[in-house]
Amino acid sequence: MGALAYTGPSDSLMKIANAVAYGGSILPSSPPAPNSSYQQDFSGPAFVCSNASSADYAGFETALKSATSVGALLEENPTYLAWAPVGADDDDLYNLHSSPSDPLFDATMNSTSIGMYDLPTF
Amino acid sequence: MYNSTGVYNTTGTFETIILAECTLRNVSYSVYFDSTNGAQILTIDRKDVLNDLQAGVVFDAWEPAAGDNSVDFTNATLMQQDSYYQVAAAYAQIVVGQVSYLSGVPYTDAPINTTSIGPLLGNTNTAVTEFVSALETLLTNVTLPLFSNPDYL
């Protein structure tokens, strides 16, 4: 255990992210002057999505098959679907992981991946 | 079009899985702000992908190993990547959910289900394509307001 421990994004950042996600639109900003227009060029983060790689796909499928064969166990161990970065040692590796830890539902992903699983409640 | 497969759940029902892969990139934006008619209109052009972002170096900085004092918090590249991953982490808190089984029936509990793009979730390729596009847009929409907040400039 290091001296520093990451506890997640700041509350102020979550406030903006939640407002955008639940509001469904970009939050307005204050223009520098009334009736003004301007352009900004900058670099920033973006997600670029595509089909999952065959390796990720196979890992996800194996993990999910393992998980669905032990439904009684999962009832006691709620498990994350979707992505969750947990690796601190390997570049660009993510694990599809569970909380609490469940080795039956552990698949290494090569990048941030999103599994969309057709569930009755959707 | 996204590939799909499926598994049988504990009740014997075949469940379809469609898997998309989203990677965090450093891209160039060009945003035109127009408030000449009272309401603000943004025209967003996401231009070139500048580079991929490697997560490991950032995670190491977040939680260095015991005794490891090598993290340079003045390194501009590291700090830029850290900032990007903070935004991505905020986004992930909204999207990541849980799958649980209750009496053999799977159900999910993810914050995104209650957001404006939650209803787009579905298992057809058309629905997934629309949903993934909305996911890409959501991160952009989270990013842009940061430039109007002095705390993040």
Q: Which two tokens stand for residue A50?
A: 């595509």
Decide if B77 touches A, using CB distance below 8 A. no
The three-class DSSP label of residue B31 is: strand
Q: Is the per-residue pLDDT at A70 higher than 60?
A: no
* pTM, two decimal places: 0.69
**pLDDT value, residue B70:** 75
A80 touches chain B (CB under 8 A): yes
Closest CA to A118 of B22, B138, B107: B107
What single-letter DSSP state applies at residue A92?
A: T
Task: Kindly list the averaged pLDDT for each block of 10 residues, start to end, along chain B of length 153.
Answer: 62 62 81 85 82 63 71 77 78 65 56 73 68 84 77 60
Chain B residues with CB inside 8 Å of A55's CB? none
DSSP class of residue B103 equals: T
Q: Give the nearest partner residue to B22 out of A28, A34, A114, using CB atoms.
A: A114
The answer to whether A82 faces chain B, any CB pair under 8 Å, is yes
pLDDT tens-digit readout, A100-113: 333 333 333 333 34
Q: Which residue does chain B place closest to A30, by CA atoms?
A: B148
Q: What is the largest CA-CA distance in chain B?
A: 59
pLDDT of A48 over the 60 cut: yes
ipTM of the complex: 0.76
At A25 the pLDDT is: 85
Q: Which residue from B15, B19, B46 is facing A118, i.e. has the nearest CB?
A: B15
Q: Does A32 contact B at CB distance below 8 Å?
A: no
Q: What percent helix, strand, coil does chain A show, rounded to 5? A: 30, 25, 45
pLDDT at position B83: 81
What does residue B96 show for φ and ψ, rounded to 5 degrees?
A: -70, 135
Chain B, 103 to 142: residues with Cβ < 8 Å from chain A are 103-117, 121-123, 128, 131-133, 135-136, 138-142
Q: How many CB atoms lie within 10 A of CB B153?
A: 7
Looking at residue B117, what is its pLDDT?
74
- What local confidence, expressed as pLDDT, does residue A122 receive? 22
A55 min Cα distance to partner chain B (Å): 11
Interface check B60 vs A, CB under 8 A: yes
A22-36, A108-122, B81-95: segment of lowest average pLDDT: A108-122
Write the DSSP assignment of B42-57 as a string of letters.
Answer: EEEEEEEEEEE--HHH
In Å, how far is A103's CA from the nearest CA of chain B? 15
- The 10 Å CB-count burial string (b at 16+, else e) for A69-79 is eebeebbebbb
The DSSP line for A22-70 is HH-SPPP---SSTT-EEEEEEEEEEEEEEEPPHHHHHHHHHHHHHHHTT
Residues of B in contact with A82 (CB under 8 A): 95-97, 110
Q: Are A26 and B42 in contact (CB under 8 A)?
A: yes
